Amino acid sequence: MRLFISILLFTLSSIFAQQHANSIGFYVKIGEPSPEFTLTFPNGDSTPFADLKGKVIMLQFTASWCSVCRQEMPHIEKDIVQDLKCDELIVIGIDMDEPAEKVIKFAEDMKITYSLALDPGAEIFGSFADKNSGVTRNVIIDKNGKIAHLTRLFNIEEFDAMVEKIKILLK
């Protein structure tokens, strides 16, 4: 009976999480493979998604003009990048439709150590969510390249749940 109740609760929480994700403009669903993309960085380097597979990946969709993003970034730096630092975790911010110079200054201003990639025309963002639905958003991708967790805006309880999900995926 306990096992049945545990399975039921897990199933219901998964359904609720997916309904929440869909209601906030995501196209992707938890458990589905991540869309393919190539990250291009301000220095001109690029990395295809295929090169990241095998690791837990956190994508933070952000922009310098986003006050909520600026509120969230110190938490990402401290609670994820610094506290969970390991070879199995990759954290990358994807800056929505801003030039390289602005993205470099944004990273410096925020004092983050994780990389910010460029997203001209919000093309990468648009493969995960409706381009008009806004940032900040986080997408957690498991080691198999599947969507494992989705967040929108910054809420400390939701953020803490995301950190816990990352810890579970790293085990």
**126-138 residue pLDDT tens:** 999 999 888 899 9
pLDDT of residue 4: 56
**The two structure tokens encoding residue 121:** 């025309």
* pLDDT band with cut points at 50, 70 and 90 for residue 33: very high
Q: For residues 135 and 95, which has the higher predicted lDDT (pLDDT)?
A: 95
What angle, 0 to 180 degrees and rounded to 10, lies between the N-to-C axes of helices 156-170 and 67-75? 40
C-alpha distance from residue 91 to each of 14, 24, 30, 72, 84 (Å) = 24, 22, 19, 14, 10
Res. 19: pLDDT tops 80 = no
Domains of the chain plus CATH, in order, are 2-170 (3.40.30.10)
| Residue type, position 45, single letter | D
Put residue 28 in one of left, alpha, beta given phi > 0 → left and psi -120 to 50 → alpha: beta
Residue 78's pLDDT is 98
Answer yes or no: are the C-beta atoms of 59 and 26 closer than 8 Å: no
Q: What is the pLDDT of residue 3?
A: 56
Q: pLDDT at position 167, please? A: 97
> Using one digit for the tens of pLDDT, what is the confidence trace for 42-55?
999 999 999 999 99
pLDDT band at 13; cut points 50, 70, 90: very low
Strand locations in 12-168, DSSP E? Answer: 38-40, 46-48, 56-62, 89-96, 115-119, 137-141, 147-152
